[in-house]
A and B are shown apart, each in its own frame.
Chain A
Amino acid sequence: MTELARREHAGATLARAGAHPDVSVIVTVVERPEPLDALYREYAAVLASCGMSYEFIFVAHPFFHEMLQPLMALQQQGEPVRTMESPRSIGETALLRMGLADARGGIVITVPAYRQVQPSALRELLTAVEGGADLAVARRWPRLDSKVNRLQNLALHLTAGRLANGKLHDVACGVRAARRDVLQDIPLYGDFARFLPLLAIYNGYNVVEVASEQHPSDLPRRVYGPGVYVRRLIDVLGLYFLLRFTEKPLRFFGLIGSVLAGIGGIALIVMLVQRMLGQPLGDRPLLLLAVLLATLGVQAIALGLVGEMIVHFNASRRRSYRLREPRVPGSESARSS
């Protein structure tokens, strides 16, 4: 079957099922995938038992091309499954964006291609979203898995988790449900898809955590290469800057810069005074260190100033606040004003 014919077939299936399903499930296939057809059947069974119409969109990294084959077979059997493959190597966030662009359900569920929680968790997530939450995230609780995994989770929460002001306890869990317009409103780029709930809170959305039973296949210990941990650390740093200092870069760079320049400056003044009292300056390596610190400090502050300038000149086009949809009589909504 050609690609075109396959697409037409998928389209026909959807037309039969009604053009807009209630729920779109986006599965990003980018790390440690498990057999995808079995995954589909498990999740689909739960959605069917909720009485929801659904579509599944599998978005795969080209490395996992082969894994999509059984799904094509499902598609030909008329199951509401679509597959997408990125043309080149891209990360989870970009894959999710691809899937979101094609999602048609009013509610979007994102799941990784491996099992983190029991599929029945989807039911509670959907209930939470229908009950008014903008985004519902599964929290693996109680944790049953290896101590190593829990330690990593703890490390993540001592850094990134703090940005949620204690509202989230399992940022790393990729099983989430949200209204589609919410997901399409939050700017997703870089490697920030894994921090989606944090970004949602930052954008003023109502995020709810749902305790869900951990899946047995999520229990074994996972240890990654050092590169992965370095990348995570950089992600967290980027996220911290994004959430806390986007609008005030000088507060971030200025703090670093004034500490560095302050130490350097004090050392310079002390040495200048000592020089006046007669101690030679030219053979003191401390002078080099002091000048280095001072120049680094000035650089940091200068960078912060450029950041402030960019923020200032872009302020006319950006509104950092978002209005809430009306829940209180007499208040106005974002769209009507």
Chain B
Amino acid sequence: MPPFAVPDLSIVVPLYNEEESVGPLIDAVRDALAGHHSWELVLVDDGSRDTTAQVAGAIAASDPRIVLLQLARNYGQTQAMQAGFDRARGNIVVTMDGDLQNDPRDIPLLVAKLEEGYDLVAGYRMRRQDKVVTRKIPSWVANRMIIWLTGVRIRDNGCSLKAYRRDLLDQLHLYSDMHRFLPALAAATANARISEVPVRHHARRFGVSKYGLTRVAKLLADLLTIKMIASFRESPLAMFGVGALMSGLFATAFFVAWLWSFREAPVNLDGSPLNAYVFPGSALLCIALAVFLTMLGLIAEEALQKVRAEEQLERFGAREVHG
């Protein structure tokens, strides 16, 4: 393959402190793709503090199919993946972990599945080789919650080995910690066709795991975001309108409770008026919340106006250039 030709297949691998793994990883990818005629391997060094960049750079310098990108600092896996996606040139992009827990020999399986007509093929780990309490159980709970909230039936969102069509990636933009929810995001915002295949999973050979156990709150916030984007992407005002309506119902309930209380004794034993403030006060607070949410919905619409106009231009404006 001449070095300037565009490859069909890009493998994107984020690396963070993987100096021992990176060499064997590259060898494994070369072996696994020996039969594949044109591929590139995009290694993204996410600000490693060890010699990952030096090791990877030395190999990349001697093989035109291997590219090393270095992020300026440690940004996190999501940003590293986005950097890899931005650089990858293939029509099919496969992501995998840099810690040798995924097996590059599974890449052809994913690609074959993708070519059956899917936009995204996710691997799910058979006989996962990880600690039960700190990794497997949190992962199981997270996957259940993702399925329940987003309706996207992916068994193993945490498995990095996934294959994507270029067109799909161009529509998705990763930020924060969103790489974990890529299938859900792809289904919600790009109507992607998604499938799964079982993949091999190896125990960690080098280094330490980079995930912690305390991720529940962050996961919840991200899930809420995904859910909101999936359901109310078209009209945020509708979401806040529902909230305002519910708040209004609470206000009504407090108001009714206030009126109801007049049926009973309207004064205390000492003659002072009973419960003059508590129910109407609560009702007013709920009304204030309803007004606030409605206005927030309007502001959200406002904030999206410009973005929508630009999306419209991207989608339909280009035709005028041709026609």
Q: Which residues of A approach B to under 8 Å, CB–CB?
A: 201, 203-205, 247-248, 250-251, 254-255, 280-285, 287-288, 291-292, 295, 298-299, 302-306, 308-316, 318-324, 326-332, 337
When C-beta atoms are compared, the residue in chain B nearest to A275 turns out to be B257
Q: Which residues of A contact B279 (CB under 8 A)?
A: 282, 287
- Whether, in the assembled complex, B206 has its beta carbon less than 8 Å from a beta carbon of chain A, the answer is no
Q: Which residues of A contact B281 (CB under 8 A)?
A: 288, 291
**Roughly how many angstroms separate A63 CA and B274 CA in the complex, as a whole number?**
61
Given the interface pairs A291-B286, A322-B72, A323-B71, the reply to whether A309 lies near B303 with Cβ below 8 Å is yes
Q: How many residues of B contact A (CB 8 A)?
A: 69
* 21 residue pairs from A and B, CB less than 8 Å apart: A204-B75, A250-B222, A250-B225, A251-B217, A281-B257, A281-B278, A283-B275, A288-B282, A291-B281, A298-B247, A302-B292, A302-B296, A305-B228, A305-B239, A319-B82, A323-B69, A328-B57, A328-B68, A330-B62, A331-B53, A331-B69
Contact in complex: A337, B278 (CB < 8 Å): no
- Checking A280, A283, A312, A331 against B70 with a beta-carbon cut-off of 8 angstroms, the contacting residue is A331
Candidate in B70, B80, B236, B277 with the most chain A CB atoms within 10 angstroms:
B70
Contact in complex: A308, B87 (CB < 8 Å): no
- Checking B67, B225, B247, B286 against A332 with a beta-carbon cut-off of 8 angstroms, the contacting residue is B67
Given the interface pairs A282-B275, A332-B87, the reply to whether A313 lies near B304 with Cβ below 8 Å is yes
Contact in complex: B257, A337 (CB < 8 Å): no
CB distance from B305 to the nearest CB of A (A): 10
When C-beta atoms are compared, the residue in chain B nearest to A315 turns out to be B173
- Whether, in the assembled complex, B315 has its beta carbon less than 8 Å from a beta carbon of chain A, the answer is no
Candidate in B45, B72, B293 with the most chain A CB atoms within 10 angstroms:
B72
- Whether, in the assembled complex, B307 has its beta carbon less than 8 Å from a beta carbon of chain A, the answer is yes
Further pairs besides A248-B221, A310-B300, A327-B70: 20, Cβ < 8 Å: A247-B175, A248-B176, A251-B218, A282-B275, A287-B279, A288-B282, A291-B285, A298-B293, A304-B221, A306-B299, A306-B303, A314-B307, A319-B86, A321-B79, A323-B72, A328-B53, A329-B58, A331-B57, A331-B69, A332-B68
Candidate in A282, A287, A324 with the most chain B CB atoms within 10 angstroms:
A282
Contact in complex: B228, A308 (CB < 8 Å): yes
Contact in complex: A306, B296 (CB < 8 Å): yes
Contact in complex: B225, A299 (CB < 8 Å): no
- Whether, in the assembled complex, B92 has its beta carbon less than 8 Å from a beta carbon of chain A, the answer is no
Contact in complex: A254, B68 (CB < 8 Å): no
Contact in complex: A328, B289 (CB < 8 Å): no
Q: Which residues of B contact A251 (CB under 8 A)?
A: 217-218, 221
**Roughly how many angstroms separate A155 CA and B243 CA in the complex, as a whole number?**
41
Given the interface pairs A309-B228, A332-B67, the reply to whether A321 lies near B82 with Cβ below 8 Å is yes
- Checking B56, B60, B83, B254 against A323 with a beta-carbon cut-off of 8 angstroms, the contacting residue is B83
Q: Which residues of B contact A329 (CB under 8 A)?
A: 57-58, 61
Contact in complex: A330, B58 (CB < 8 Å): yes
**Roughly how many angstroms separate A142 CA and B273 CA in the complex, as a whole number?**
69
Contact in complex: B70, A326 (CB < 8 Å): yes
Which 9 A-B residue pairings sit nearest by Cβ, starting from the closest?
A204-B72, A330-B61, A282-B275, A330-B60, A328-B57, A315-B173, A330-B57, A204-B73, A321-B79
